[in-house]
């Protein structure tokens, strides 16, 4: 049983693509990041090249786990067995590349990797964020709906959307990468809906490309001065309904568990909890404990 590590996206997609697509909801982040890198190139999330890997069982069997890293962002891990999580920690500690700044994974996998990483390097983990993955059940749009209407964003909205994307990242306390690139990526597949009131955009909700009958809502944002009026919920319902009408089977979104407002909103719209994930940050490596 072993990890294979590569800088070659095509090699990773051939080796691990079947594994990721077999469980598209639980692998939603890995799938959407891989899709974005395939479209926009390896510089999509930073200047350093992305690193990929997959875990195989006995011999040269099919992949049973996967990771990718777009430095300086945390490792993204699929669900891993304890053996695979500890094996990945050993592999990356030995290789020294990529530089591991943290991990983003389901709670059990994240904690197992972090414990092994601390044992190997002395680095201490701290919880940066706790996210909850939701899956859409029966869509329940806001009733009554707020005034206004949804429309697909266009390049004419780009500057405003970049500003909103930067605001979203600041409030979420997340590494956002290049906000303009994120917006351009979504505009490239009609992946942002704005809620418009009297010809003025007042909120937005984005959606990823559909992969393996799965798409994920992201970049739900209302400027602070316009909040509390139902615009974000209406935009999210509009995007969700359009995805369902287009035949998308798995419609997902993440929330920050420290934000009770958003968690309550999405449950009112018909989203149901599926999995909790941890985003852990690691201190600078100090060498293995003595």
Please, what is the average pLDDT of the chain?
Answer: 93
What's the whole-number mean pLDDT along residues 14-35? 96
Poorest-pLDDT segment among 12-16, 21-25, 56-60, 219-223:
56-60
Residue 174: its pLDDT value, please? Answer: 62
Instruction: Say what percent of the chain tops pLDDT 70.
Output: 95
Contact 100, 92 (CB under 8 A): yes
Pull the structure tokens for residue 93: 């500690």
What's the whole-number mean pLDDT along residues 256-279? 95
* CA dist., res. 131 & res. 66, Å (int): 20
Residue 177: its pLDDT value, please? Answer: 59
Residue 240 has pLDDT above 60, yes or no: yes
Domains and CATH numbers, the chain: 2-131+277-282 (3.40.630), 138-269 (3.40.630.30)
Residue 186: its pLDDT value, please? Answer: 94
Poorest-pLDDT segment among 45-49, 65-69, 143-147, 225-229:
45-49
Q: Which residue has the tokens 């990945």?
A: 88
Cα 248 to the chain's mean position, in Å? Answer: 18
Nearest Cα to Cα of residue 92 among 116, 111, 61, 127: 116
Residue 285 has pLDDT above 60, yes or no: no
Please provide residue 162's backbone torsions phi and psi, each rounded to the nearest 5 degrees.
Answer: -60, -45
Residues β-bridged to residue 205: 193
Q: pLDDT by residue (tens digit) across 137-189?
A: 999 999 999 999 999 999 999 999 999 999 998 887 665 558 998 899 999 99
Residue 46 has pLDDT above 90, yes or no: no
Residue 96: its pLDDT value, please? Answer: 85
Q: pLDDT by residue (tens digit) across 175-201?
A: 555 899 889 999 999 999 999 999 999
* CA dist., res. 257 & res. 275, Å (int): 11
Confidence of residue 290 (pLDDT cuts 50, 70, 90): very low
Residue 40: its pLDDT value, please? Answer: 80
Nearest Cα to Cα of residue 241 among 142, 110, 94: 142
Q: Which residue spans within 101-213 are E strands per DSSP?
A: 102-106, 125-136, 149-152, 192-197, 200-207
Run of H or E including 107: helix 107-121
């Amino acid at each position: 049983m072993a990890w294979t590590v590569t800088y070659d996206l095509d090699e990773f997609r051939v080796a691990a693509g079947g594994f990721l697509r077999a469980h598209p909801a639980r692998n939603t982040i890995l799938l959407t990041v891989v899709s974005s890198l395939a479209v926009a190139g390896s510089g999509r999330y930073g200047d350093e090249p992305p690193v990929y890997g997959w875990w195989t069982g006995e011999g040269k069997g099919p992949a049973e786990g996967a990771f990718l890293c777009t430095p300086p962002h945390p490792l993204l891990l699929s669900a891993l067995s304890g053996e695979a999580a500890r094996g990945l920690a050993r592999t990356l500690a030995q290789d020294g590349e990529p530089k591991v700044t943290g991990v983003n994974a389901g709670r059990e996998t994240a904690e197992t990797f972090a414990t092994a990483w601390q044992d190997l390097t002395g680095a201490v983990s701290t919880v940066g964020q706790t996210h909850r993955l939701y899956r859409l059940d029966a869509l329940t749009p806001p009733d009554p709906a707020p005034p206004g209407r949804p429309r697909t964003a266009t390049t004419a909205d780009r500057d405003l959307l970049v500003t909103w994307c930067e605001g979203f990242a600041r409030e979420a306390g997340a590494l956002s990468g290049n906000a303009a690139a994120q917006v351009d990526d979504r505009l490239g597949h009609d992946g942002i809906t704005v809620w418009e009131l009297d010809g003025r955009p007042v909120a937005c909700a984005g959606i990823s490309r559909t992969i393996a009958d799965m798409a994920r809502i992201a970049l739900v944002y209302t400027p602070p001065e316009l909040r509390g009026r139902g615009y974000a919920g209406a935009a999210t319902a509009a995007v969700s309904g359009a995805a369902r009408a287009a035949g998308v089977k798995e419609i997902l979104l993440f929330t920050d568990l420290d934000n009770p407002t958003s968690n309550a909103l999405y449950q009112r719209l018909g989203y149901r909890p599926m999995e909790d994930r941890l985003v852990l940050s690691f201190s600078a490596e100090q060498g293995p404990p003595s």
